[in-house]
Structure 1
Amino acid sequence: MNTQADHQDIAIVGAGIIGIAIAACLSESGRKVLVVDRQGICEGTSSGNAGALAFSDILPLASKGILAKVPGWLMDPLGPFTIRPSYLPKLTPWLYRFWRASRADMLERTIEAQGAMMRLAEPEMLGLMQRAGIRDMIREDGSLELYESEEELNAALPGWTARRRAGIAFEHLRGEQLAACQPGLAPRFVAGTFVPGWKTVSDPQQVGKRLWNYAERLGARFVRARVDLVAAGENGATAHLCDGRTIKASKLIVAAGAWSHRLAKGLGDTIPLETERGYNTTLPAGAFDLKRQLIFSGHGFVVTPLETGVRIGGAVELGGLDLPPNYRRSEAMLIKAQKFMPGLETAAGRQWMGYRPSLPDSLPAIGYAGTSKSVLYAFGHGHLGLTQAAATGRLITDLVSGKEPAISIEPFNPHRF
């Protein structure tokens, strides 16, 4: 790309897993695609996530008893859910919408929409990875969610009932069954829930890069640049780059993760996107004999077996894009993990922080900009970007191709707020 204003068929802003999956799906449909990103292919938040293909995770954040726990958690700056006091005034409108999303009628609609999305997500992701030749990067070991008391398990049962209604299989384990499912756990855990359909990948960043290799073989191209502004008209859209260049495209897709709302605002769309800053530590391979992903829901983090090591991370810090990282949060999770898994070797870990793009109802924004059919939005997947990437690619491809979307996208309307 070396002219002042190259004209493209499709331009995608964002080379995270969502943008890459969209590029692959559009390229499969015969469209010519250019992806633009300020870093590189899956070099941002998609490089260090927990690696879950969480097709059974249909419960929004607002449904998981978060509101009742928030006052206690906010007293602990290293706890599972925290807000830095300096950021609270800016966050208040988002928290109000989050509270509204926790109402019973809203939750029911959200769970239904998320269930439909997940039913699409599984075959789309498995199919895309198969076509890309990377199906062997999926681990099908299930997940184990752990509880320190019968009371904690009982509090989680309404959520499991909702999953059962959605056709999701699971089994509550105790005693020898629990020990066999994951040896080496501390005796403080009295029960666990095994979900056989839960999947993980061998390395989330490498999955993204391999999917890009597939898209590239189909003709997709990449340019490294920062997009500062997006403009739209009746006959196309323009991305203005930080170096003064412009890219014109018949269709432009904003899939820039936690930065997407800034570009949407330039088009006149105010979308309440917030940033869940997630932290983790990746320990060397062999740090623990991990059989499957472990979910410590009461403490807000997971432990994942990866090809590159054992990844311990999660939790939620609502702090936007500009505050410096607080890696003490990674250290706090690592200390807990060592207590929960006494044989865990905690030396030589690599710390990381990423920016999860989160909307108040835990559903993504998928659809057209308010003023132009030349711009589409595909962002706000929260913890589920890897899980829902191929489904989003399918939906965007349907829209670009003028087809009826594979599922109703009304629940994901970017302007629903």
Structure 2
Amino acid sequence: MGEQVTQVTYDQCVIGAGIIGLAIAFKLTRAGQSVLILDKGGMGEGASRGNAGAFAFADVEPMASPAMLLKSPRWLLDPMGPLSVPLSYAPRMAPWMAQFARACLPTAHAASTKAQAALMELAKRETELMFEDAGLSNHLRHEGALYLYAGQRAFDAAADVWRVRAKHGVAFEPVTGARLAELQPGLGPRYTHAMFVPDWMMVSDPFEITRALGNQTVTEGAEFRQARVVRLQPGGETTTITMDDGETVTARQTVVAGGAWSGKLAAQLGDTIPLEAERGYNTTLPTDAFDLKRQLVVPADGYVITPLASGIRVGGAAEFAGMQRPPDYRRSAMMLKKSESVMQGLNTSGGKQWMGFRPSLPDTLPVIGRSSTSSRVMYAFGHGHLGLTQCAATATLVRDLALGQAPSIDMHPYRAERFC
């Protein structure tokens, strides 16, 4: 008789090797759990590869806001605007947009802001600690950010946003004239006012830090496999995870952290979560394209400009067009063109374009917590633009839930069943 092979049952299986999934895997491995990480691509090959590289702790106000409700119709009429939905995709987006509109109403917005601020506060406490524990502090940069405004009127129009941020402990400095020129020489004359956020933190390169965190997690004992998960079957003591080649593994607990691809797995378990793929675009220019001192945020046009080790990244905006439609790189070109008025003398040649899928939920909050139908499965997805920003906070919460410890913040706002 041949030798009998006994299948290993892992303590934890994390589905998704973006920055969220890898942060969770790192925290669980550090807690002494046996961890298997599964992803259809390599570590950090999804949205984490091309994000803007900033920890946007100041952005406590959800995108779903009364102000956005007023702006979005105008933006939607511009096919190259900051928010775009192709006409062919609009019928599919209608239910999501209806929930987004409800989340913009004052009472819902106030609740979402409170929840977002709580998550941001936890992220501020946990982020540097996590990367220090992983030996990756050298990837972090503390240069602050400038929110740019074209004139006094645009600056004054943003006052309510900054009042909310001040209420939640965000430090900032209004700057004009010589002070603005000192913080970023070479700005175009149109941008006369700014808010400087000194505590803003960035990474040297988002793909590199994501991959480094994953490699460190494997070094400390986790296992990584490149495989596409097609089915989850929770049982009494474990969940069986089936991959597209028919192989199965079992885990006592499973975390779905697959970004924009997470909705189908949640639906298998009976959790209907209105997850959409928000397509983000950018262009990364050579490092010598401009002498950029810190990240620039252009709120009126919905994009940011970031100095990375790999180059100057110009990107942002939101296109809701599903995951099958080919990329429309005119959006990257449009943002790059606009950035010429921000940075005088910018050399726009030699850039590399990119498009990725951000996991977006209508109230701007992620889903973090257990499936409504199985205590063996937890969710950690839907962070939109804020995956890097909220990765350490999310990982801390999931670790605490997995180990049966009380989370440090109220988990009710992030529950999966809130959309029912």
Is 1:121–1:390's contact at 8 Å kept on the other side of the alignment?
yes
Cα separation, 1, equivalents of 2:177 and 2:352: 34
Q: 1:328-407 residue pairs with structure 2 within 5 A?
A: 328-407=330-409
**Matching of residue 270 in structure 1 with residue 266 in structure 2:** no
Which position in structure 1 is the counterpart of 2:41? 39
Q: 1:14-413 residue pairs with structure 2 within 5 A?
A: 14-63=16-65, 65-413=67-415
Q: 1:155 is aligned with what amino acid?
A: A
Q: In the TM superposition, what is the alpha-carbon distance from 1:69 to its structure 2 partner?
A: 1.8
Which piece of structure 1 moves more, 57-66 or 123-132?
A: 57-66
Cα separation, 1, equivalents of 2:8 and 2:337: 52
Q: In the TM superposition, what is the alpha-carbon distance from 1:192 to its structure 2 partner?
A: 0.5
Is 2:14–2:256's contact at 8 Å kept on the other side of the alignment?
yes
**What do residues 331-387 of structure 1 show as CA deviations (whole Å, max 9, x unaligned)?**
110111112212111111010001110111111100111111100000000100001
Is 2:66–2:105's contact at 8 Å kept on the other side of the alignment?
no
Q: In the TM superposition, what is the alpha-carbon distance from 1:64 to its structure 2 partner?
A: 7.0
Q: In the TM superposition, what is the alpha-carbon distance from 1:238 to its structure 2 partner?
A: 1.5
Is 1:234–1:372's contact at 8 Å kept on the other side of the alignment?
no
| Secondary structure of the corresponding residue to residue 321 of structure 1 | coil
Q: 1:311 is aligned with what amino acid?
A: R
Q: Give the structure-2-normalised TM-score.
A: 0.97
Q: 1:352 is aligned with what amino acid?
A: W
**What do residues 144-167 of structure 1 show as CA deviations (whole Å, max 9, x unaligned)?**
001112221122111100011111
Is 2:96–2:274's contact at 8 Å kept on the other side of the alignment?
yes
Cα separation, 2, equivalents of 1:119 and 1:339: 34
- 5+ residue gaps, structure 2: none
Q: 2:163 is aligned with what amino acid?
A: T
Is 2:370–2:377's contact at 8 Å kept on the other side of the alignment?
yes
Cα separation, 1, equivalents of 2:156 and 2:387: 29
Cα separation, 1, equivalents of 2:185 and 2:65: 31
Q: 2:275 is aligned with what amino acid?
A: L
Q: Give the structure-1-normalised TM-score.
A: 0.97
| Secondary structure of the corresponding residue to residue 372 of structure 1 | coil
Cα root mean square deviation, aligned = 1.2
Cα separation, 1, equivalents of 2:95 and 2:83: 17
Cα separation, 2, equivalents of 1:245 and 1:29: 28
Q: Percent identity?
A: 48
Which piece of structure 1 moves more, 152-161 or 252-261?
A: 152-161
Q: In the TM superposition, what is the alpha-carbon distance from 1:66 to its structure 2 partner?
A: 2.0
Q: In the TM superposition, what is the alpha-carbon distance from 1:5 to its structure 2 partner?
A: 5.8
Q: 2:283 is aligned with what amino acid?
A: T
Cα separation, 2, equivalents of 1:90 and 1:339: 36
| Secondary structure of the corresponding residue to residue 417 of structure 2 | coil
Is 2:144–2:198's contact at 8 Å kept on the other side of the alignment?
yes
Cα separation, 2, equivalents of 1:402 and 1:394: 12
**What do residues 19-60 of structure 1 show as CA deviations (whole Å, max 9, x unaligned)?**
000000000100000000000100111001000111111110
Q: 1:333 is aligned with what amino acid?
A: M
Cα separation, 2, equivalents of 1:29 and 1:45: 27
Is 1:5–1:246's contact at 8 Å kept on the other side of the alignment?
no
> Residues 347 and 4 of structure 1: is their aligned pair in 2 closer, same or farther, counting only changes over 3 Å?
farther
Q: In the TM superposition, what is the alpha-carbon distance from 1:6 to its structure 2 partner?
A: 4.5
Is 2:66–2:106's contact at 8 Å kept on the other side of the alignment?
no
Q: 2:294 is aligned with what amino acid?
A: R
Is 1:279–1:354's contact at 8 Å kept on the other side of the alignment?
yes
Q: 1:211 is aligned with what amino acid?
A: L
Q: In the TM superposition, what is the alpha-carbon distance from 1:7 to its structure 2 partner?
A: 2.4
4+ aligned runs moved over 3 Å, structure 1: 3-6
Q: 1:215 is aligned with what amino acid?
A: T
Q: 2:366 is aligned with what amino acid?
A: P
| Secondary structure of the corresponding residue to residue 253 of structure 1 | strand
Aligned length: 415
> Residues 4 and 266 of structure 1: is their aligned pair in 2 closer, same or farther, counting only changes over 3 Å?
farther
- 5+ residue gaps, structure 1: none
Cα separation, 2, equivalents of 1:105 and 1:68: 16
Cα separation, 1, equivalents of 2:13 and 2:125: 26
Is 1:4–1:246's contact at 8 Å kept on the other side of the alignment?
no
Is 2:285–2:351's contact at 8 Å kept on the other side of the alignment?
yes
Q: In the TM superposition, what is the alpha-carbon distance from 1:4 to its structure 2 partner?
A: 10
